[in-house]
Structure 1
Amino acid sequence: MSIALVFGGIPCDAAENSRTFSFYFENDLFADTDQSYTNGIKLSWISPDLTGYAESGRLPGWSLPLIGRLPFINEPGLQRNVVISIGQNMYTPGDLEAEDLIEDDRPYAGWTYFGIGLHSKNERRLDSMEIQIGMVGPASFAEQTQKWVHEWRGDQCPNGWDNQIKDEPGLAVIYERKWRFLYARDIGKLGFDVIPHLGGALGNVYTYANAGMEARLGWNITRDFGTSLIRPAGDSNAPLSAQDPRVKSDHGFGLYVFGMVAGRAMLHNIFLDGNTFTDSHSVDKKRFVADIGAGVGLIIQRFKLCYTHVLRTKAFEGQEDDQVFGSITLSFTY
């Protein structure tokens, strides 16, 4: 197998040479609540296209045989990007004032993680493979984060973190495929596209199969794979081609609305099932959880700002209501 076969295939342009940095923030304060999935924050960076890096000597020699064995990597005509991310999620019961264990509500839990992934994509399809490693439990520092934010805002101090699930190293291996259909080919016009996805995750943090779809309608829609919530293999903000308004200096504005629906069939969720190797607080999870959301995206020059309002169905038995939260994503392409 030749290195040219692994990395060759497409010419460089402004999109392929660009890098994209994204900041994600999710919180239920947008629904005036403070419970369940109560906060998520994530930073991610998507590299420029790595086509030709093998021949340029920019990739270490030991990595080339490994990269060559990865699925989809040898298909000609694809862009290839590395994705690096770091984030923290936190989960709490509804009553933050109580110090004792609330047995029929979800456990206090935090997840702080580092992720590295590989994208293989063209105008129609994106394959994402990602590995996340991190810590669940006190070593995630979710308790300190929430208490600091609540003290700064003058809110009720969360008193039940002594009951959180225990320390456990976390590992998840994720794969997801996205497609793009019905998209406008010319910039400077009203456009519409549909982006379905299908994938799954395996690990001691979560194991699931997932599927969903996003539809976008507006002016100068970005040439990417949509706006994702904070989730594994969800980084899809990088421009695909020179037709993306973020890499065209004379068309640096866009505005669109979108709707999304996604579902997960959960086999394992440490934030509800409790620790894998030791006893901890747990509740009976629901096997299927769905997200329904709607939002708006704004593109100004190299910036993309999106807000999504999300309804998430009940995640465990005894949960009184579906959850509502807001998600903000700010991306910068350079």
Structure 2
Amino acid sequence: MKKLFTFFIITITCLTFSNAQKIDNLVSFRDIDNASYFRFNYENDYFANGDENYTQGYNFELFLKSLKKNPINFLFFKPKNSIKKYGLALEHIGFTPDDYVSENIQFGDRPFASAIMLKSMIITVNTNKKLRLFSSFNLGIIGPAAFGEDMQVGIHKWTGNKIPKGWKNQIKNDIVINYEIGLEKQIITVASFLSLQAQSNIKAGTLFTNASLGLNATFGIIDKPFTIKNSAKKFKFYGFLQSIGTAVVYDATLQGGMFNNSSTYTISSGEVKRLTGQYSYGFILKTRTLFFEYSRYFITKEFNSGSSAKWGGIKIGFTF
């Protein structure tokens, strides 16, 4: 047991570089043991006393048995002998430079950017091999049409904070078409209080193109998302740690859209960090019908003249 604990600590702490994974709601420790549920995901740098880089994101997530008939599902991998869940989500993300009040371009900092997209998703679990495979197809837009300016200005007026004035320099409108596939394997589980998983992920498209590899762990009164049925216990409360290493190929929130080259200011390809980093931690509380999470995130700088950033988030869900 002592060796296992030592392995667990070293593995998690040694993975010190990774890439931003905004609103990662498909990983196993966030599983809801039901084919029909709704969850609201919200992230903001306010939780970390900041207002720059990844400033805000939200996601409305819906899983239903009837979504098995979604015509988009032909794009997804559906392994035999696996449990399957089908979902849709509406997601919005926003980014700002450090000096968001100035009307001038913030050279050397990241550009203003926001994107909104509709996601179709599938989660499959092979309980014999302890494998979790998920896929998603995202369709949306990046640019002023994603109303990032209206969202941030409205929130700052409501909270009495400084009004952002630099959105006129944001990434211009362009289409978002992205495909994502992820694989997760349970490595170790100790009774109902500790588990360790390896995970990998590939994103390809006009918004993000990257590949990642990492680990996540849970400890406490944990869930068992790799089994046919979870524990009969209705109450679960556990912490999690996650660290992911990613190779970055393209990031439209920095470099602008692939098809529209009219953006006033972007980060050049040569300035983008090709290996960046993120780790996260938090706690999750579950009952048979309710889900609540609080989490914190840290990311290393994503371009040469940038800086590291941090933010936090909450997730609230219920089954039906």
Length-normalised TM-score, structure 1? 0.78
Gap change, CA 1:138 and 1:270, over 3 Å in 2: same
The one of 316, 322, 331 aligned to 2:308: 322
- In 1, the alpha carbon distance for the partners of 2:207 and 2:286 equals 35
- In 2, the alpha carbon distance for the partners of 1:208 and 1:82 equals 24
The superposition leaves residues 97-140 of structure 1 with CA deviations (integer Å, 9 ceiling, x where unpaired) of: 10011121100000101000222212311111111011100000
The one of 195, 198, 214 aligned to 2:197: 195
- In 1, the alpha carbon distance for the partners of 2:92 and 2:76 equals 28
Gap change, CA 1:37 and 1:70, over 3 Å in 2: closer
Gaps of 5+ in 2: 1-31
Structure-2 residue corresponding to 1:297: 284
SS of corresponding position for 2:193 = strand
**Code of the aligned partner of 2:48:** A
After superposing the two structures, state which structure 1 stretch, 90-99 or 290-299, moved more: 290-299
Gap change, CA 1:70 and 1:276, over 3 Å in 2: closer
Gap change, CA 1:242 and 1:152, over 3 Å in 2: same
- In 2, the alpha carbon distance for the partners of 1:242 and 1:224 equals 8
Length-normalised TM-score, structure 2? 0.82
SS of corresponding position for 1:146 = helix
Gap change, CA 1:74 and 1:267, over 3 Å in 2: closer
- In 2, the alpha carbon distance for the partners of 1:243 and 1:204 equals 38
RMSD (CA atoms) = 2.3
Q: What is the deviation of 1:47? A: 2.8
The one of 273, 277, 287 aligned to 2:255: 273
The superposition leaves residues 211-245 of structure 1 with CA deviations (integer Å, 9 ceiling, x where unpaired) of: 221100111x12237xxxxxxxxxxxxxx64324x
Q: What is the deviation of 1:16? A: 7.6
Report if aligned partners of 1:181, 1:194 keep a CA contact under 8 Å in 2: yes
**Code of the aligned partner of 1:282:** T
Structure-2 residue corresponding to 1:228: none
The one of 26, 44, 47 aligned to 1:27: 44
The one of 50, 53, 66 aligned to 1:36: 53
Structure-1 residue corresponding to 2:116: 112
Q: What is the deviation of 1:49? A: 9.2
Report if aligned partners of 2:33, 2:230 keep a CA contact under 8 Å in 1: no
- In 2, the alpha carbon distance for the partners of 1:33 and 1:16 equals 34
Q: 1:19-98 alignment to 2 at 5 Å?
A: 19-48=36-65, 59=69, 67=74, 71=77, 73-75=78-80, 77-98=81-102
Report if aligned partners of 2:35, 2:85 keep a CA contact under 8 Å in 1: no
**Code of the aligned partner of 1:19:** S
Q: What is the deviation of 1:70? A: 5.2
Whether 1:333 and 2:308 are equivalent positions in the alignment is no
Whether 1:282 and 2:261 are equivalent positions in the alignment is no
Gaps of 5+ in 1: 1-14, 54-58, 226-239
**Code of the aligned partner of 2:49:** D
Whether 1:161 and 2:167 are equivalent positions in the alignment is yes
SS of corresponding position for 1:181 = strand
- In 2, the alpha carbon distance for the partners of 1:99 and 1:241 equals 55
SS of corresponding position for 1:115 = strand
- In 2, the alpha carbon distance for the partners of 1:74 and 1:255 equals 31
**Code of the aligned partner of 2:282:** G
Gap change, CA 1:242 and 1:170, over 3 Å in 2: same
- Paired residue total: 282
The superposition leaves residues 233-272 of structure 1 with CA deviations (integer Å, 9 ceiling, x where unpaired) of: xxxxxxx64324xxx4xx2212111111012211000011
**Code of the aligned partner of 1:155:** N
**Highest RCO, 1 vs 2 (Cα 8 Å, sep ≥ 6):** 2
Gap change, CA 1:325 and 1:16, over 3 Å in 2: closer
**Percent identity, aligned pairs only?**
24
Report if aligned partners of 2:56, 2:93 keep a CA contact under 8 Å in 1: yes
The one of 110, 115, 126 aligned to 1:122: 126
- In 1, the alpha carbon distance for the partners of 2:172 and 2:35 equals 41
**Code of the aligned partner of 2:310:** V
- In 1, the alpha carbon distance for the partners of 2:61 and 2:248 equals 25
